[in-house]
Structure 1
Amino acid sequence: MITNNLGIAETINNAINQRAVYGVSYSLLGLEQNEQHYLGYQGTGSDKIAIRPDLEYDLASLTKVIGTSTRILQLLGIGKIKLTDTIGNFLTNLKHPELTIKDLLLHCSGLPADIADVSELNRAGLIERVKQADLIYPTGSQTVYSDLGFILLGWIIAAIDGDLADSLNEHIFKPLAMNQTGFKLANQPPANFV
């Protein structure tokens, strides 16, 4: 049985008033309960819009935890990949093809957290820098959160399934009825995004 929504709403409104978050959408689901709630706003200033049911949720940085991690785990579950597979089995022109899927998932690959001066690079330049990144510590000796590792995992998904956005939609969002969630959503007005 779901608890009283008043306590949940009060907690969220306190977080909004304390500026911990701008706004929140959430659902309460139970055997005889299906409620959707929308509190607060998305953004500030000229970008400020009320949270509402028709907003689209572009995963953006959450792609790593909701999209990439989930699909990698699915691929592991159906045997299309193994934790011990090297990334060179799926991707070409890598400086460190010996890194494993496990190394990337656990953030112990030795890859840096990100790429310096990324805004100065075009797409081809960014791809090259990711593929040719130097290790900043020996693989397995430390844990350093790395966007590069998850970029590589996304490319591995694309190598197996085709387009990453299509894969996430087909294997995660559609089956879970996440109809307003996506990656690389096109042809949507910016005001519809949270």
Structure 2
Amino acid sequence: MSKRQDILDAASRLFTENGARATSTKSIAVEAATSEALIFKYFGTKERLLEEIIKKGYQEAAKTILPNLNEKDALAYILKIIEIPRILVDANPIFWKMQYKIMGLNAISQKYHDNFMRPCFERLEQSFSELKYESSELEAQLLLIYIDGMWRHFARLQEDVKKEEELTKLMKQKYNKK
């Protein structure tokens, strides 16, 4: 493994444990068994290091959920979207726990998340419209609020997979009845 990757891994662990503000470059250097100078050489600032972790996390997330986003049928798309919080957190629990901890205090983190979710809103609105929901825009917003709350819940508690699956199944049942 490269020193650059060691720094990214160490920073991810520390940002997850302590939050971004409470994590110093010195503590990252100690955790990565390297020097602060090398951190600054690779990333310039702690903020750029954090942004690199966030960017990579969302790139991985996009690859993970891409099969769910290609669904053509409106109801099938909605049911696939409901699975996203569980799929994402299970695939990369450290990243999503870090996001849970820092998103409220970090504009970069929020920006990446908003950009990541934007296409889902547009497709959800279209899907609810196709299914003749009275207010497709509000229904799409409501489902995204659920999704946002569930990934945070799963990331924070990191419950057992069975409980996550039960919650996901229950939500899917609500939309599968129409």
- Name the structure where helix makes up a greater proportion of residues: 2
TM-score range, shorter chain: under 0.3
Normalised to the residue count of structure 1, the TM-score between the two structures is 0.25
Larger radius of gyration: 1
- Name the structure where strand makes up a greater proportion of residues: 1
